[in-house]
Structure 1
Amino acid sequence: MRNGFVAVLVTLALCVPSAAQAQWGLLQQGVDAVTGARKGAAPAAPGVSPGASAGALARDTTYQNPARNFSFTVPAGWKLENGDPASESVLFMKPGSSWSFQFHIEQMVPSFPRKSSVEASLKQAKEMVTIKKYQEARRRDDGDAKGKCGVIGWEITEAPQKNDYQRIIWQAYDGQNFYFNFMAASENKDFEAARASLRQIMDSIRFCR
C-alpha cells in the first residue's frame, strides 16, 4: 500500500511543473485580467449611478459552452468585459465594483494523471484550511466524470489574500484531460458583501445538463 502511495507521489512530482503552470499561471492571469478591466473602465457619466453601465445584462442570463459541455448563469447588472462564453476564456464583472467571474480552459497532455492530481490538490487544500490560508476546501465533481461528459475536481474558498483579492475557485478536469479553472472574486474588503452573488454564479455551473 505504501509503495503504491509513493508511486503516485512520484508520478505527480513528474507532472507538477505542467500542472502548476496551468493552475497557478491561470490564477495569476485571472487577477491580472480583473485589475486590467477595472483600470480600463470609464468613469460614470454625471447623474448616473456608478453601478450602472452600458452593456450590463438586463436579466439573469445563462450561457452555454457547447465545445466543453457546460453552462453557467450570470446575474442581471453584470457585464461581459472580455472573451467569449463559448470559448476557452471569459471575464464578467459587476460594473462599479471589484466583483468578477471568469473561467479559463487548457488542454493537458493525454497521459496527465487527473485523478491523482485532484486527490493530491484537495489534500493540500485541506491542509491550507488548517493554517487559515483557505476558509473551505471540498471535492467537487459534476456530470458523468467516468463517461464522455463530466468533470472531477476540487473547490476552495480563500481567506483574504495579500494581493487584495479573495476568491472562490473550482478547478477540474474532464475525461479528455481538459483543465478548467472557474473563479469568482472580489477585493478583500468587498468579499462578504459579494459572497452570495459569487456563490450563486459558481453553483450555477453545470456540465452535461
Structure 2
Amino acid sequence: MHIVDGVLSMPVLLGSGVLALAGVGLGLRALDESSIPRAGLLTAAFFSVSLIHIPLGPTSAHLLLTGLMGVLLGWAVFPAICVGLLLQALFFGYGGVTVLGANTLNLALPALLFGLAGRAVLARLRPAALSWWVMPLGALVGAGAFAGSALLVAGSLAASGEGFWAAARLALIAQLPVALIEAVVTAAALRLLWTVRPELLARPARAC
C-alpha cells in the first residue's frame, strides 16, 4: 500500500507531510520506557510483513498489521510506522523518502483511530465477555484500519490528478481480499495476546 516517489502532487505531499509530522511528534510524547520495546517489536513486524508485496502501478498490496499496532501503541503508532517506512525506503527503495509523510499518514491515521476505538470497547467489556468478543473486535479493527488506509491511498492518488484516478480505483479494489486476511491475522493476534498477556489489552494506551 506504499505510494512510490514522483507520483503525488506537491500540495498533497506538503499537506500530508505536515500532518504526519504532527502525528509523529505526538506519538513520541506518548512513548515511555515500558512501551519502547513493544513499539520496536511491532515496527519490526510491520517492516517484515509489508515488504512482501504485489506491485499495483504507483502503489502495492500487502499486509500491514497496523490495526494491531494501533491497539497496542496508541499515538505511538505514528513514529513506529514512520521508522519502518523510512528503513524500507533507505535499504530497499520501497516507497520513497519524498512520500514518507504521505505514506506515514495514510497508514498510521486509520491505525490510530481504529486502535483507540478498539481500546475503548475493550475497556468497557468484562473479562468474561472479552474472551468471546476479542476475536470479532480484532477482525473489525484489523479490517477497518486496513480499509481506511486503502481509502486514504486512493484519495491521495486521486487528489494528485485525473491521470491517477484509474490507479486509485485499482488500488482500492485490489486491497479488498487483503483486508480479509488482515482481519483474520489481527483477530488471531489479539486472541493470542488475551490468552498469554491479557494485561497488554487491559491497560489503556498512554495518551500523548
TM-score w.r.t. the length of structure 1 is: 0.30
Bigger fraction of residues in helix: 2
Q: Which has the higher contact order (CA 8 A, sep 6+)?
A: 2
Q: Which has the larger radius of gyration?
A: 1
